[in-house]
Amino acid sequence: MKIFYTFLFLLGSYQFSFGQETPESMVGTFFSSIAEGNFSQAIDYLLSTNQNLKNDSTLEATFTNNLKASHARNGVYCGYELIEKEQVSESFVNYSYFIKYMDNPVKINFTFYKPREKWQVNSVQLVPRTKEQGRGQEGRQQQGNKNLKGSNPNHPKPPNMPK
């Protein structure tokens, strides 16, 4: 009889945990759709978790178009990677991820909120890469190469290099 009750308890726990979505599982579902090239499905899924966002067709269309454009600009999808998790409270959490593409990563921020027992997306934002960021990185790489070659007159040559 004890085994029977243990079985019922485990079955009930499994069903309860199976029905509960966490922010991590929601992000995983989102990125699974992205990996399959189903951008609209990915956005629909996220927005469907929040009544206020679900009915905003402009937000859905804009975000889907931005995601498709980002995909077209940056090459083959290679996965995703967690950058940062900020647990603001037990019911409010921020996540930052890189969408890994062959050419460039794209940052995406998610905010999740749990008003009662279910998590929902509070906001999602693609963080665009600005021209200044790109130029700044290229400039640092070029400057670093000049310094290594010793062609920068303001930078002393290492002692083991001929003058």
Q: Is the pLDDT of residue 148 over 60?
A: no
Which pLDDT tens digit goes with each residue over 98-112? 999 999 999 999 999
Q: Are 107 and 83 in contact (CB under 8 A)?
A: yes
Q: What is the CATH number of domain 19-131?
A: 3.10.450.50
The alpha carbon of residue 136 and the mean position of all alpha carbons in its chain are separated, in whole angstroms, by 23
Q: What is the pLDDT of residue 130?
A: 55
Could you tell me the pTM of the whole model? Answer: 0.67
Which of 117, 111, 110 minimizes the C-alpha distance to 92? 111
Residue 20, φ and ψ in degrees, nearest 5 = -90, 120
